[in-house]
Amino acid sequence: MPELPEVETIRLTILPKLKGRRIISGEVLHEKMVLGISVKEFLERVSGQKITGMERRGKYLLIELAADLIIGLHLRMTGQLTVEKSDSPLAKAIYFRLSLDNGTELRFRDQRKFGKVFLYSRGEPPLALEKIGPEPLSPEFTVAVLKERFGQRSLAVKKALLNQEIIAGIGNIYADESLFYAGIHPARSVNSLTGAEIDGLYHAIQKVLSEGIKLGGTTFRDYRDGEGRAGSYQNKLNVYGQKGKTCPNCGGLIVKMNFGGRGTHFCPLCQK
Ligand SMILES: [Zn+2]
């Protein structure tokens, strides 16, 4: 699933192609993708609207329209977003398209059909968006904020990092990498972490997410940026997907443990 660095990379590559364009019409071939209203109503409300910007909140992309309307998109497992010439061949599994006023169109390709699209008025975000925790790369997110978000919970730190209501945008890959850099075992409960450990984890999160964006995200299978290009952070991974390989830190073996239904990778020697 695309995480913060992948979704941000898509935003950065798509935004220049959308900003200032007007939506002419659209087509949705998988009706369940559109939440809350009918496909017909969705297309009627966005047609003719000018796109003024595109933001990201956690793993959501938010396309801003002139009439204070916002189109929210969640790519879920296999979603891909591109802007292409309207007359270019359609790849398989494109279930959502918006035609723009310059002969291009926004295409949402989604092999597994889990992706979602919704529409809301600015200032009235759906609950799912409202509940999202702080953006880890925003200036407001400090060590003190992370400490406060963790609070006195007895939740395992890996689960806390994956919880979008505690902190936004982190998924399995960047959670495992952050815990490796911080030298923290994924099963440690957050209320057992020392001040120094939370400080280390804070900086590890900043490092892996920033580097992830710089390298255009991590591609194992489906993820592509808005230009259809793969990312390259997969070449920098220390633990995620590295089961049985040697730890770059200590030379021990990286293990994979099933943890809360998610494969979790770590070095048992470096992460006590
Ligand atoms: Zn190690």
pLDDT of residue 229: 93
pLDDT of residue 260: 73
Examine residue 271 and state whether it is found in any structural domain, yes or no: no
Look-up of token digits 């400090």? 142
**What's the CATH number where 85 sits?**
3.20.190.10
> 87: domain range?
4-130
* Mean per-residue pLDDT, 182-203: 97
Q: In angstroms, what is the span from residue 178 Cα to ligand 1's centroid?
A: 14
Q: Let me know whether 126 and 62 are in one domain.
A: yes
95-144 tens-digit pLDDT: 999 999 999 999 999 999 999 999 999 999 999 999 999 999 999 999 99
Q: Let me know whether 47 and 150 are in one domain.
A: no
Q: In angstroms, what is the span from residue 25 Cα to ligand 1's centroid?
A: 54
Examine residue 176 and state whether it is found in any structural domain, yes or no: yes
* CB 117 within 8 Å of CB 62: no
Examine residue 207 and state whether it is found in any structural domain, yes or no: yes
Q: In angstroms, what is the span from residue 255 Cα to ligand 1's centroid?
A: 10
* Mean per-residue pLDDT, 168-174: 97
Instruction: Please say if the pLDDT value at position 261 is more than 90.
Output: no
Residue that terminates a domain, selected from 74, 100, 130: 130
pLDDT of residue 245: 97
Examine residue 138 and state whether it is found in any structural domain, yes or no: no
Residues belonging to the active site:
2-3, 59, 262
Taking a 5 Å cut-off on Cβ, the residues next to ion ligand 1 are 247, 249-250, 252, 267, 269-270
**What's the CATH number where 187 sits?**
1.10.8.50
Q: Let me know whether 125 and 52 are in one domain.
A: yes
Q: In angstroms, what is the span from residue 254 Cα to ligand 1's centroid?
A: 7
3-state SS of the chain is CCCHHHHHHHHHHHHHHHCCCEEEEEEECCHHHECCCCHHHHHHHHCCCEEEEEEEECCEEEEEECCCEEEEEECCCCEEEEEEECCCCCCCCEEEEEEECCCEEEEEEECCCCCEEEEEECCCCCHHHHCCCCCCCCCCCCHHHHHHHHCCCCCEHHHHHHCCCCCCCCCHHHHHHHHHHHCCCCCCEHHHCCHHHHHHHHHHHHHHHHHHHHCCCCCCCCCCCCCCCCCCHHHHCCCCCCCCCECCCCCCECEEEEECCEEEEECCCCCC
Q: In angstroms, what is the span from residue 149 Cα to ligand 1's centroid?
A: 28
pTM of the model: 0.96
Examine residue 60 and state whether it is found in any structural domain, yes or no: yes
Instruction: Please say if the pLDDT value at position 210 is more than 90.
Output: yes
Backbone angles phi, psi at 181, to 5 degrees: -60, -35
**What share of the chain in percent tops pLDDT 90?**
95
28-72 tens-digit pLDDT: 999 999 999 999 999 999 999 999 999 999 999 999 999 999 999
Q: Let me know whether 100 and 208 are in one domain.
A: no
Q: Let me know whether 118 and 147 are in one domain.
A: no
Residue that terminates a domain, selected from 95, 130, 165: 130
Examine residue 137 and state whether it is found in any structural domain, yes or no: no
Q: Let me know whether 215 and 185 are in one domain.
A: yes
Examine residue 114 and state whether it is found in any structural domain, yes or no: yes
pLDDT of residue 221: 85
Examine residue 135 and state whether it is found in any structural domain, yes or no: no
* CB 104 within 8 Å of CB 29: no
Q: Let me know whether 32 and 77 are in one domain.
A: yes
Burial (CB < 10 A; 0-12, 13-18, 19+), residue 170, is buried
Q: Let me know whether 150 and 113 are in one domain.
A: no
Q: In angstroms, what is the span from residue 180 Cα to ligand 1's centroid?
A: 8
Q: Single out the residue of 96, 100, 10 nearest to residue 55, CA to CA.
A: 10
Query: What total number of domains does the chain contain?
Result: 2
Q: Let me know whether 90 and 12 are in one domain.
A: yes
- Average pLDDT of the chain is 96
